[in-house]
Amino acid sequence: MAKRALIEARDEIREKSRVITQLNETIAELRSNLEKIQNEEEIVRKFEEFYV
């Protein structure tokens, strides 16, 4: 009984670790996208300062 509980706990930890890894990858991608958007907005603001 205890061995089965340990195996189930191990499997749950592995699954949660996999999900955490996926979430960290998603967060990194979203941060990268946000930086790109912020850079684009800064370029637009500078353009508007000179030409609008």
DSSP 28: H
In this predicted model, what pLDDT tens digit does every residue of 1-48 receive, in sequence order?
Answer: 799 999 999 999 999 999 999 999 999 999 999 999 999 999 999 999
Q: What is the pLDDT of residue 29?
A: 98
Judge whether residue 52 has pLDDT over 90.
no
| Sequential DSSP letters for 13-47 | HHHHHHHHHHHHHHHHHHHHHHHHHHHHHHHHHHH
Integer Cα distance of 10 and 4 in angstroms: 10
- The pTM (predicted TM-score) of the whole model is 0.72
